[in-house]
Amino acid sequence: MYEKWLVGVDLGGTTIKIAFISQHGEIIYKWEIPTNTKEKGQHIPTDIAKSIDQTLNKLNQNKSKLIGIGIGAPGPVNFRNGSIDVAVNLGWKNFHLKDLLEMETSLPVVVENDANAAAIGEMWKGAGEGAKDLLCITLGTGVGGGIISNGEIVHGINGAGGEIGHITSVAEGGAPCNCGKKGCLETIASATGIVRLAIQELSSTSIPSVLREVYNEHQTLSSKQVIEAVSQDDEIAKKVMENVTFHLGIALANLANGLNPEKIVIGGGVSKAGNILLDPLKKHFAHFAFPRALQGVELAIASLGNDAGVIGNAWLVKKS
């Protein structure tokens, strides 16, 4: 039988991931192109359209093979018209992404927030497979989130549903966040937050640490180096991870108490820490979660990695 394909597009600040995906969620072909942010990102829809055409030619396929495009973009989405109100990294303000991409490709387009799309991907084909009540949190440069309730993504009244990274996790003070508030979870549990906490710890104590040598030599650290130092039994790295998982545990437990999910899936670059992150997180989560909510939920590391977004966006096309 002649099977049509779905197109999933995951739009990031530096690269755009694109994939042709079967209606069963299998990736048939995937590739990426650089994100062109020149002239306030206005060339992005044309770049995507050209790249899809070139790839179809390469695979000897006709455009009639494609059902439509699902695209995940950073920032709040206006669901009435598929525009992006603001995406700072791309230079977009009130950018009519759906209209422009439909005009360039002559295909139907569905627009979703990128973290929500990753949550949908994990629900369809990843660590959340089979769960209809799901929380997905991505720990990367920032902290993103998606909430799925009874199989539907929670958008809220104006597209800000699932902004887990902006739960205030430090009651007084706390570090300033890009959103304008202080003490958001994103300032602690992101890759940037982990580095900030480690540097802060190094400057406030003279405890020997493998991180001190790295920092003194390069005047900077990476979250990966901090996580690796935990497995070397480094006291400072362990203290940082304890702090991170404590705040993350409170935030996720409070969400679980309100939403009673079946699965909480943790993705993003920081999730590569695996059990170094998951073990202490489970301990703090269990401490703060309502006992019945705790009984019903499983915490797991996301399994789709960078493919979660394209797969989730393809699902949106399938469903629309």
110-168 confidence digits (pLDDT tens) = 999 998 999 999 999 999 988 999 999 999 888 989 999 999 999 998 888 999 999 99
CA–CA dist 143, 255 (Å, integer): 15
| CATH fold match for the domains 5-120+307-319 and 130-303 | yes
Query: Above 70 in pLDDT, residue 244?
Result: yes
Query: Above 60 in pLDDT, residue 21?
Result: yes
pLDDT digit string, tens, across residues 52-69: 999 999 999 999 999 999
pLDDT of residue 225: 96
pLDDT of residue 129: 86
Domains of the chain, residue spans: 5-120+307-319, 130-303
Strands 152-153 and 143-149, bridge-based pairing: antiparallel
Percent of the chain, pLDDT > 90? 81
Q: What is the mean pLDDT of the chain?
A: 93
Q: Which two tokens stand for residue 278?
A: 């998951």
pLDDT of residue 172: 66
pLDDT of residue 278: 97
CA–CA dist 14, 107 (Å, integer): 25
pLDDT of residue 173: 76
Query: Above 90 in pLDDT, residue 191?
Result: yes
For domain 5-120+307-319, give the CATH number: 3.30.420.40
pLDDT of residue 169: 76
Query: Above 80 in pLDDT, residue 193?
Result: yes
pLDDT of residue 297: 97
Percent of the chain, pLDDT > 70? 99
pLDDT of residue 86: 84
171 — pLDDT class (breaks 50, 70, 90): low
- DSSP calls for the chain: ----EEEEEEE-SSEEEEEEE-TTS-EEEEEEEE---HHHHTTHHHHHHHHHHHHHHHTT--GGGEEEEEEEESS-EETTTTEEEEEGGGTEEEE-HHHHHHHHHSS-EEEEEHHHHHHHHHHHHSTTTT-SSEEEEEESSSEEEEEEETTEE---SSS-TT-GGGSB--SS---B-TTS-BSBTHHHHSHHHHHHHHHHHHHH-----HHHHHHHHHS---HHHHHHHHHTT-HHHHHHHHHHHHHHHHHHHHHHHHH--SEEEEESGGGGGTHHHHHHHHHHHHHHS-HHHHHH-EEEE-SSGGGHHHHHHHHHHHH-
Looking at domain 130-303, its CATH architecture is: 2-Layer Sandwich (3.30)
320 — pLDDT class (breaks 50, 70, 90): confident
Residue 275: partners with Cβ closer than 8 Å, 6 or more residues away: none
Q: Which two tokens stand for residue 219?
A: 């005047």
Q: What is the pTM of this model?
A: 0.88
13 — pLDDT class (breaks 50, 70, 90): confident
pLDDT digit string, tens, across residues 62-98: 999 999 999 999 878 888 899 998 887 788 999 999 9
- Beta carbons of 314 and 70 less than 8 angstroms apart: yes
